[in-house]
């Protein structure tokens, strides 16, 4: 089960990291989205910056085994708040742009967005419960076992990932 907990934590970490970075890169869209979801005017700027920073913090907390459960609980709470906000908007007949992933992906909040957040909340709950008894290995524990050539392969992989990320950002 520890490997399933690790996979769930890594999945959540990637989702939260992408969402956080995408929102930070599109500050105007993030502020518009939180305003449309009903955040009071004076708090829009704080929420527009604070939300992506919180997502990034959660992403980081999910990686080490020692903080995995706290990160999963924070992710679960945040996802449930998102579900409540989406549900509230739907009940009112509104469909604000979720702006969940900044400019990468923004559609009107609805059943699909609610379902996605519900599934992610389920993963977060699984990780939180699983991490309480056996959090699994840290996301980077395997690095300590690498030799010289393996480190070179990892370094090349990181460089390739950065080139793809920068290229992808440039295209978007």
pTM more than 0.75: yes
CA distance 58 to 128: 13
Residue 68 token pair: 């995995």
Q: What is the pLDDT of residues 20-66, one digit of tens each?
A: 888 888 888 888 888 888 888 888 888 888 889 999 999 999 988 88
Q: What is the pLDDT of residues 144-156, one digit of tens each?
A: 666 777 667 767 7
């Amino acid at each position: 089960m520890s490997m399933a907990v690790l996979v769930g934590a890594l999945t959540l970490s990637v989702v939260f990291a992408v969402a956080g970075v995408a929102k930070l890169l599109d500050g105007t869209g993030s502020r518009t989205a939180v305003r449309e979801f009903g955040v009071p005017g004076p708090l829009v700027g704080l929420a527009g910056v604070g939300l992506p920073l919180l997502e990034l913090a959660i992403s980081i907390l999910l990686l080490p085994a020692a903080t995995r459960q706290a990160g999963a609980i924070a992710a679960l709470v945040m996802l449930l708040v998102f579900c409540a906000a989406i549900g509230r908007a739907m009940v009112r007949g509104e469909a604000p742009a979720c702006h969940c992933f900044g400019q990468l992906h923004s559609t009107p909040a609805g059943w699909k967005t609610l379902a996605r957040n519900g599934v992610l909340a389920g993963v977060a709950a699984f990780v939180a419960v699983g991490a309480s008894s056996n959090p699994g290995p840290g996301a980077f524990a395997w690095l300590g076992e690498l030799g010289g050539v393996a480190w070179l392969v990892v370094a090349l992989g990181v460089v390739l990932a950065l080139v793809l990320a920068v290229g992808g950002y440039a295209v978007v």
